[in-house]
Amino acid sequence: MSLFKRLILKRSLVSLSAAAILFGCFDISTLKAAGSSTPQAADSIKSPNSQSDVFTSRKELYEQMSAVTGIPWFRLAAIDQYERTIAKKSKESPPDPGRLTGITIPAPVWCGPLNPDQDDKSAASISFFHGFGRDGSGDGMADPNNDIDLLYSMASHLMRYGNSPSDFSIATWEYYHYGRASLRITQFANLYEHFGQLDLSGNAFPLPLGKIYSYRSTWGTGRSWGGARIHEGTDLFTPHGMTVRSTCYGIVETKGWNRYGGWRVGIRDIDNRYHYYAHLAGYEKSLTQGMIVKPGQTIGWVGSSGYGKPGTQGKFPPHLHYGIYRDRGIIEWAFDPYPLLKQWENGERRALKKHK
């Protein structure tokens, strides 16, 4: 406890709610009331268990932890989101369904590798064995299934490195020892900071509606060029020069020439999906790596580039090749974007009708 008390004395500006977290007066159940099925909660909440309630509760939790520790809310949110999007190893138990956060910390890390009790929840003995676990809720317990203890433990780790973006990258590298994890978390933190919200779920169709285009499901069909590869995506045929738009909120991860894809763009979204746009004629001129985009924002123009050395064009009819890859931590795989394209096209068409 002394660590937390010292912390509070140091931070004279600590808010009441933040103090409440540390002294255990903060009741996580009030945050979770929206997701609760008790009659009492159902009476007071209009739309129980909705996704927006979860976002609201999570953001409150990050902000309160931020007030106590000085770690910006969007960095806590980014780590939490990264963990939510990667596959959990089968050996580890999934997070308690009642939890708001998605972070799981392996027992030897939480309790300390030499701790004889790998279910240890005593903050004092975990500290003795140099475990990662800390008590954020002020009950003397460091419980890996308690959102506040978990976030406080993660924030304590980050606090040892400092508050600049590069300190944050080093801190996540030191925790995961995995460059891709560190990169993803930085991307997510940038997205959250830029938009100031957790809900980044909107989508758009990659081509402007009302223009001439055609596409069909071609998942897994053979390709004519580049050897035995399956077709990982959907081809949207449309005239040369048609606008290509981002389908998601995301950050530009790759831009440039690729032997197969020609001039292409890769955009990472907050669900750890990589949206791949290939065979472009050119890029929207402000587009740069690391830039943040919104659904419907112009990123380039349809062309027929690719299948050769930089600048090769016209080896096939102009079209947009659109693919989606999901990062599960160690592996990244493609999935069929066709059903999503249909869904986004229909969604936009309905929205356009409504506004007519």
What stretches of the chain adopt beta strand conformation (E)? 214-215, 234-237, 243-245, 250-258, 262-269, 273-283, 292-293, 298-302, 319-327, 332-335
**Least distance in angstroms from the C-beta of 320 to Zn ion:** 8
Q: Which range, of 16-24, 124-132, 133-141, 230-238, touches Zn ion by CB under 5 A?
A: 230-238
Tokens standing for residue 319: 């079209």
Q: Which range, of 113-121, 147-155, 227-235, 253-261, touches Zn ion by CB under 5 A?
A: 227-235
The yes or no reply on residue 235 touching Zn ion (CB under 5 A) is yes
Q: Which residue's CB is nearer to Zn ion, number 32 or number 321?
A: 321
> Burial, 137: exposed, middle or buried (Cβ in 10 Å; 0-12, 13-18, 19+)?
buried
Q: Which residue's CB is nearer to Zn ion, number 6 or number 216?
A: 216
**Least distance in angstroms from the C-beta of 252 to Zn ion:** 20
Q: Which residue's CB is nearer to Zn ion, number 69 or number 304?
A: 304
For the chain, how many residues are written?
A: 356
**Least distance in angstroms from the C-beta of 1 to Zn ion:** 60
Residue 53 in contact with residue 44, Cβ under 8 Å?
Answer: no
* One of 78, 146, 321, 329 touching Zn ion (CB under 5 A): 321
Total binding residues toward Zn ion, as defined by CB under 5 A: 2
Q: Which residue's CB is nearer to Zn ion, number 134 or number 321?
A: 321
The yes or no reply on residue 232 touching Zn ion (CB under 5 A) is no
* Separation in Å, CA 204 to CA 209, 246, 348: 10, 7, 7
Q: Which range, of 114-122, 155-163, 238-246, 314-322, touches Zn ion by CB under 5 A?
A: 314-322
**Least distance in angstroms from the C-beta of 324 to Zn ion:** 13
Residues 6+ apart with CB under 8 A from 171: 157, 158, 160, 161
Residues 6+ apart with CB under 8 A from 98: 32, 35
**Least distance in angstroms from the C-beta of 164 to Zn ion:** 41
Q: Which range, of 121-129, 152-160, 165-173, 313-321, touches Zn ion by CB under 5 A?
A: 313-321
Q: Residue 147 and residue 83: Cα distance in Å, rounded?
A: 14
> Burial, 161: exposed, middle or buried (Cβ in 10 Å; 0-12, 13-18, 19+)?
middle
Q: Which residue's CB is nearer to Zn ion, number 120 or number 235?
A: 235
**Least distance in angstroms from the C-beta of 230 to Zn ion:** 11
Q: Which residue has 């977290």 as its token pair?
A: 21
Q: Residue 36 and residue 58: Cα distance in Å, rounded?
A: 15
Q: Write out the residues near Zn ion by the rule CB under 5 A.
A: 235, 321
